[in-house]
Amino acid sequence: MAAVAARRLRGGEGVATRGRVLLTLDPGALSHLAQGRHVVLVTGTNGKTTTAHLLAAALGTLGPVAHNATGANMADGAVAALATRRHAPRAVLEVDELHLTRIADAVSPAVVVLLNLTRDQLDRGSEVAAVATSIREGLRRHPDTLVVANRDDPVVVATVEGLPRVTWVAASAGWSGDASLCLRCGRQLATTPEWSCPCGLSRPPADWELHGESVCGAGSTTPLRLRLPGRFNLGNALAAMAAAHALGVPPGDASEAMSGLESVAHRYATVRHGPHQLHLLLAKNPAGWAETLPLLKDYPALLLVINAREADGRDTSWLWDVPFEGLASRPTVVSGDRAPDIGLRLSYAAVEHQTVHDPLVGLELLPPGEVVVVANYTAFADLWRRLAVMSRR
Amino acid sequence: MSRESTVRIGLLLPDVLGTYSDRGNAVVLAQRLLRRGIDAEVIMVTAGSRSPGRCDLYVIGGGEDAAQSFATDWLLQHRDLRVALQTTRILAVCAGLQVLGQWIEDGHGRRQPGLGILDVTTSPGQRRAVGEVLTRCVLPGVGLLTGFENHRGMTHLGPDAAPLAVVMHGVGNGSPDGSEGALTPTVVGTYLHGPVLARNPVLADHLLQGVIGRDLPALELPDQEDVRDMHLALATHHPLERLGPVRAALHRRRSS
């Protein structure tokens, strides 16, 4: 029944809507659709979408892959992805941290990739300790699942240590704002020369690591030729390569496939809009922003778009954990539902700017040429939709 | 203190009680002095740092349960700082407010002693209080306060504590009297994030005037008024144009 419904709905409304319909018709749809396939779940606070895209490209060298490519990362998005490519023997599902347990129970994943755990959307009751505990308990029920985990994030290590099958990747942890205390015992972590706790929790040796822009793992060294910018994407690629290897993709093949990606769900895309060349980036929490700020320095104009809808988190306090004080002076516009919040943050950081609710109106205030755009979750989706509609006209 | 000296703002345990971005309060305080030509610096008192020396004003923020417990122990162990906190002005937010109280009860019914600077006690509530808040501050001339609350602990005021504000929208302390936060001659305690001083510059200036001992001239910053208007509308779930009376009250305050 789900299959019939899936065919009828294909190409119709949004991915999540299609998934919700399928789940209503058959509450066991996720489990039925996953049967007999190798499913990889990718979770963590930041980098899920990019890592899942990199991994889907790598697994694509073996055959068709089902993938929730648009970032619909709850059960409905997972169902829709599996239903759309029913005969793909492998699936890559990006999964929201708070939904990992439920989805893992339904699909019995071959591999779970856990990238990092920092704060995001605190209004959802998602303090880091609670999220980590729920993931740990969920993974314990799947002793056969291989967990690919970032050994550089102490919260990740506390979450998965002791599980029977773990591959450690040195994917780095740029922002440590939520990892000053040990998740296991509550004591303060030592950070030099590498992180460790008096209780014995410490950084495990890496099975996969980066040497410059090459990946060392599985007994070989493989150069990466990513077109996606940023140090953090090297870490995402490392995790993707380790997961792909577990499903039989040689590192060289994975690297070549991943080098084909220029943008990920429109992130990192470059778009022409009127007199402007827009470079689109997504950042939605302090950890994401810490990785994004260094990418902004070469652009002559800046547009920041901030919303605070349900999918963004309703509280914009997190803007104060982003060191905007370091932003170089240039023509800058802030926009979005919460334009005044980001505007006031910049005022206190002494960054001159103009505040305009509508980002496309704000854009008109910026000089022609290159503009780097940083938007959070729904702001990015809205802006992309509008740019896409206008480019079709 | 003299006009020439630098105002030292001590940001307590930002590495531990930093979850709700309350460090922004220290930024706001320092910037509001610097932009009026008064020297100010923010001293970060992290868990690994030694005694910071005396500060003129301390700021402490919110965090998760384990972090709050760690912070309480840490402050109790640092005697010089604990003594300084008895007599120095403090802005304490969320877990920071709870830590300054008599005790905090956890989910298992265990009570951990606090610093005892405020006559308040905190116990877990039935459900988490999450959302925009609007209160009326009891401090003369401060007026309406907006913020975002996100807490499970409910705070009971003892006979020696007064509320900072009365809740108009939201939960606040969670007690039947509709109180929000706590107030003594030296402590301003609240559940409001935002950060609270970015949302409510009048409260920031109230704290600063207490420290420097004189009135400060008005200071308008780009987007400051729009932030207040926007959050007033959000807290009351009303579009701005329907907020006639409340908004008028806000603006009366601002121009006074």
pLDDT at A104 exceeding the cut of 70:
yes
Are A244 and A320 in the same domain?
no
- E-assigned strand segments in chain A: 38-43, 65-67, 90-94, 111-114, 146-150, 166-169, 208-211, 214-217, 220-223, 270-273, 276-282, 302-305, 332-335, 354-355, 369-375
Question: At A310, is the secondary structure helix, strand, or coil?
Answer: coil
* Residue B230 structure tokens: 């926007």
Crossing angle between the packed helical segments A251-258 and A231-246, to the nearest 10 degrees: 140
Chain A residue with minimum CA distance to B30? A348
Amino acid, single-letter form, for residue A237: A
* Residue B57 structure tokens: 């004003």
Crossing angle between the packed helical segments A2-9 and A75-84, to the nearest 10 degrees: 80
Amino acid B2: pLDDT? 44
Domain annotation covers residue B244? no
Query: Per-residue b/e over A174-211, b at no fewer than 16 CB within 10 Å?
Result: bbbbbbbbbbbebebbeeeeebbbeeebebeebbbbbe
C-alpha distance from residue A44 to each of A79, A199, A230 (Å): 20, 25, 18
- Rounded to whole angstroms, the Cα distance separating B156 from B68 reads 18
Are A242 and A322 in the same domain?
no
- Rounded to whole angstroms, the Cα distance separating A335 from A373 reads 10
Domain annotation covers residue A107? yes
pLDDT at A219 exceeding the cut of 60:
yes
Query: Per-residue b/e over B37-58, b at no fewer than 16 CB within 10 Å?
Result: ebebebbebebeeeebeebbbb
Amino acid B238: pLDDT? 55
A392: distance to nearest CA of chain B, Å?
A: 34
- Rounded to whole angstroms, the Cα distance separating A177 from A199 reads 21
Say if the Cβ atoms of A348 and B148 lie within 8 Å.
Answer: no
pLDDT at B255 exceeding the cut of 50:
no
Are A278 and A142 in the same domain?
no
Chain A residue with minimum CA distance to B224? A344
Amino acid A243: pLDDT? 98
* Residue B199 structure tokens: 């949302």
DSSP assignment of B117-176: SSSEEEEEEEEEEEEEEEEEESSTTT-EEEEEEEEEEEEEE-TT-B-SEEEEES-TT-ST
Full-model pTM? 0.90
CATH number at residue A289: 3.90.190.20
pLDDT at A6 exceeding the cut of 50:
no
- Rounded to whole angstroms, the Cα distance separating B151 from B157 reads 17
Amino acid A382: pLDDT? 96
Amino acid A378: pLDDT? 95
Domain annotation covers residue A263? no
- Rounded to whole angstroms, the Cα distance separating B224 from B210 reads 22
Domain boundary (A212, A232, A258) is at A258
Domain annotation covers residue A265? no
Are A76 and A179 in the same domain?
yes
Are A195 and A286 in the same domain?
no
Domain boundary (A258, A289, A305) is at A258
Question: At A168, is the secondary structure helix, strand, or coil?
Answer: strand
B30: distance to nearest CA of chain A, Å?
A: 10
pLDDT at A126 exceeding the cut of 80:
no
Q: What are phi and psi of B96, to 5 degrees?
A: -60, -40
The average pLDDT across A77-102 equals: 95
pLDDT at A106 exceeding the cut of 60:
yes
Domain annotation covers residue B24? yes
Q: What are phi and psi of B126, to 5 degrees?
A: -65, -40
Number of structural domains found in chain B = 1
Say if the Cβ atoms of B31 and A343 lie within 8 Å.
Answer: no
Amino acid A316: pLDDT? 96
CB < 8 Å to B21, chain A: 286, 317-321
Are A290 and A321 in the same domain?
yes
The average pLDDT across A232-260 equals: 97
- Rounded to whole angstroms, the Cα distance separating A389 from B137 reads 47
Sequence-distant (≥ 6) Cβ neighbours of residue A7 within 8 angstroms? none
Could you read off the pLDDT of B144-156 as tens digits, one per residue?
999 999 999 999 9
Domain annotation covers residue A115? yes
Domain around B150: 7-220
Question: Which residue bears the tokens 């206008």?
Answer: A390
Domain boundary (A194, A229, A258) is at A258
Share of chain A above pLDDT 90, in %: 82
Are A250 and A278 in the same domain?
no
Residue pair A22/A6 in contact (Cβ under 8 Å)? The answer is yes
Sequence-distant (≥ 6) Cβ neighbours of residue A316 within 8 angstroms? A306, A308, A338, A341, A342
Could you read off the pLDDT of A306-334 as tens digits, one per residue?
999 998 999 999 999 999 999 999 999 99
Could you read off the pLDDT of B59-75 as tens digits, one per residue?
999 998 889 999 999 99
pLDDT at B243 exceeding the cut of 50:
no
C-alpha distance from residue A355 to each of A235, A303, A347, A366, B230 (Å): 35, 10, 11, 12, 14
Q: Which chain B residues in 10-69 lie under 8 Å from chain A, judged by CB atoms?
A: 15-16, 18-24, 27-28, 31, 47-48, 64-67, 69
Query: How wide is the angle at C-alpha A92 spanned by C-alphas A48 and A29, nearest 5°?
Result: 115
Q: What is the ipTM score, two decimals?
A: 0.92
Domain around A60: 2-258
Domain annotation covers residue A252? yes
CATH number at residue B176: 3.40.50.880
Amino acid B241: pLDDT? 43
* Residue A288 structure tokens: 């994401």
Domain annotation covers residue B255? no
Return the minimum-mean-pLDDT range out of A56-65, A343-352, B106-115: B106-115
Could you read off the pLDDT of B78-87 as tens digits, one per residue?
999 999 999 9
The average pLDDT across A37-56 equals: 97
Domain annotation covers residue B226? no
The average pLDDT across A63-67 equals: 97
- Rounded to whole angstroms, the Cα distance separating A257 from A155 reads 31
Domain annotation covers residue B249? no
Q: Which chain B residues in 143-202 lie under 8 Å from chain A, judged by CB atoms?
A: 148, 150, 193-195, 198
Are A194 and A278 in the same domain?
no
Amino acid A392: pLDDT? 76
Domain annotation covers residue B237? no
CATH number at residue A123: 3.40.1190.10
Amino acid B149: pLDDT? 96
Are A64 and A126 in the same domain?
yes
Domain annotation covers residue A54? yes
Burial of residue B241 (CB within 10 Å: 0-12, 13-18, 19+) is exposed
- Rounded to whole angstroms, the Cα distance separating B93 from B192 reads 7
Say if the Cβ atoms of A340 and B132 lie within 8 Å.
Answer: no
* A121 or B26, which is more confident: B26
Domain annotation covers residue B41? yes
Amino acid A393: pLDDT? 65
DSSP A114: E
Q: Does B227 touch chain A (CB under 8 A)?
A: yes
Residue pair A143/A166 in contact (Cβ under 8 Å)? The answer is no
Are A166 and A280 in the same domain?
no
- Where in the sequence numbering do the catalytic residues of B fall? 94, 193
Return the minimum-mean-pLDDT range out of A191-195, A291-295, B35-39, B215-219: A191-195
CB < 8 Å to A128, chain B: 19, 64
- Rounded to whole angstroms, the Cα distance separating B230 from B239 reads 9
Are A92 and A230 in the same domain?
yes
The average pLDDT across A70-98 equals: 93
Task: List residues of chain A with CB under 8 Å from any CB of chain B.
Answer: 119, 122-123, 125, 127-129, 177-178, 180-181, 183, 186-188, 286, 314-315, 317-321, 338-341, 343-348, 353, 355
pLDDT at B185 exceeding the cut of 60:
yes
Are A59 and A120 in the same domain?
yes
β-pairing, A38-43 vs A111-114, is parallel
Domain annotation covers residue B184? yes
Residue pair B108/B98 in contact (Cβ under 8 Å)? The answer is no
Amino acid B252: pLDDT? 41
* Cβ-nearest to B198 among A286, A339, A344: A344
- Rounded to whole angstroms, the Cα distance separating A13 from A16 reads 8
Say if the Cβ atoms of A343 and B222 lie within 8 Å.
Answer: yes
Closest CA relative to residue A19, chosen from A5, A37, A38: A5
pLDDT at A10 exceeding the cut of 70:
no
- Backbone conformation region of residue A39, classed left if phi is above 0, alpha if psi is from -120 to 50, else beta: beta
Amino acid A125: pLDDT? 66
Residue pair B166/B180 in contact (Cβ under 8 Å)? The answer is yes
State chain B's mean pLDDT as an integer: 91
Q: Return the residue in B20, B112, B220 with the most chain A beta carbons within 10 A, the one to mutate for interface testing.
A: B20
Number of structural domains found in chain A = 2
Question: At A87, is the secondary structure helix, strand, or coil?
Answer: coil
